[in-house]
Amino acid sequence: MTIKEVKEFLLTCKSLTEEAQALFAADVRSGVQAAYKQWHRRMEKAQQLHQRWLDMSTHEQELWEKGYAHIAGVDEVGRGPLAGPVVTAAVILSPDFYLPGLDDSKKVPAARREEMYEQIMEQAVAVSVSLSDAALIDEINIFQATLRAMQTAVQNLSIVPDITLNDAVTIPQLSVEQRPIIGGDGKSISIAAASIIAKVERDRMMKEYDTQYPGYGFASNMGYGTAEHLAALRVQGPCRIHRRSFGGVLVP
C-alpha cells in the first residue's frame, strides 16, 4: 500500500488484528508511522469514551435489568445567573441508545452540545422541557422554582416514567419513584442527556433575550454576573428578565 492508501485506510478503520498492527508498526515509512500512531490514539480515545459510557450507565443498567422500562433523567440549568429562567429537562433513553462523550453539559464544548442535543431529540424515547421565569423565581425562591419546573417537565413527558433519576434533589408531588444522585449529571447518562437538553434550550433563549434587551451581553454571559453584565446593570438598571431577589442585580 502507498502512504496515501494507508492513511485513507486507517482513517476509516475501526479495528485491526494484532498481525496488521505489527505490520504497520514495523513499516519504516514516516508517513505510515504517523498515520498508525494517529489511528492508535483515536482507538484509545474511543475506548476511554466507551468505558466512560459504561460507567455512566450503571444506574440505568441496574434498573433496566430490574424491569424498569422507562427511566427519566431530570436536570436543571440556570440556577446561578442574575437573569433569565431556570430551565429543566426530563429525558427517557432506550437501552440501545449510545452517544459516547455524553457528560455534564458544563464539560461539553458548545458546538458538541448542539450536536448532542440534536441526537438526543431525535433518538430519545421522550423529552420534555420546562422553565420557571424570573418573576416566579423572585416570588418563591430559586430552589422552589427549580423543583416546580422539574415537576412540570416530568409530568409533561409523553410517556409516564417508571422512575426518575434526579440530579441531587427529590421532586415534590410526583407519584413516580425517584432516585436522587449527587453529581448525577456526571454519573448517569439519562441525567447528562437532560443536562444537555436544558443547557442548549436555555442558551438559545438567552441569545433571543439579547436581541430584546441589548447591552447586557446575554448572548455571551447567559445571564451570569460577569464584569460586563454588572457594568451594564450599573448603567441601565435591571430589565424584565432580571431576578430582583438576587444580590448584584439592584447594584448601587
Domain boundaries, the chain: 3-56, 68-199
The answer to whether 133 is annotated as binding is no
C-alpha cell at 222: 447567559
CA dihedral (105, 107, 112, 115) in degrees, to 10, reads: -20
Give the orientation angle of helix 30-56 with respect to helix 189-212, to 10 degrees. 100
Predicted local distance difference test score (pLDDT) of residue 126: 98
Q: What DSSP character marks residue 128?
A: E
Q: What is the pLDDT of residue 251?
A: 58
Q: How far is CA 154 from CA 53, 90, 104, 118, in A?
A: 24, 6, 19, 20
Query: How far apart are the C-alpha atoms of 218 and 207, rounded to whole Å?
Result: 6
Instruction: Please tell me whether 55 is known to bind a ligand.
Output: no
pLDDT (0 to 100) of residue 6 = 83
Q: Which of 114, 117, 69 lies closest to 95, judged by CA?
A: 69
Residue 193 · residue 73 · CB < 8 Å: yes
Residue 103 C-alpha cell reads as 457528560
76: annotated binding-site residue? yes
pLDDT value at position 87?
Answer: 98
Which pTM does this prediction carry? 0.88
C-alpha cell at 116: 448532542
**End-to-end alpha-carbon separation of the chain, Å?**
72
Task: Note whether 220 and 211 are within 8 A (CB).
Answer: no
pLDDT in tens, the chain (252 residues): 898 988 888 888 888 888 888 888 889 899 988 888 898 888 888 899 999 999 999 999 999 999 999 999 999 999 999 999 999 999 999 999 999 999 999 999 999 999 999 999 999 999 999 999 999 999 999 999 999 999 999 999 999 999 999 999 999 999 999 999 999 999 999 999 999 999 999 999 999 999 999 999 999 999 999 999 999 999 999 999 999 999 878 755
How far, in Å, CA of 22 to CA of 86, rounded?
54
User: Are the C-beta atoms of 77 and 193 separated by less than 8 Å?
Assistant: no
CATH class of the region 68-199: alpha beta
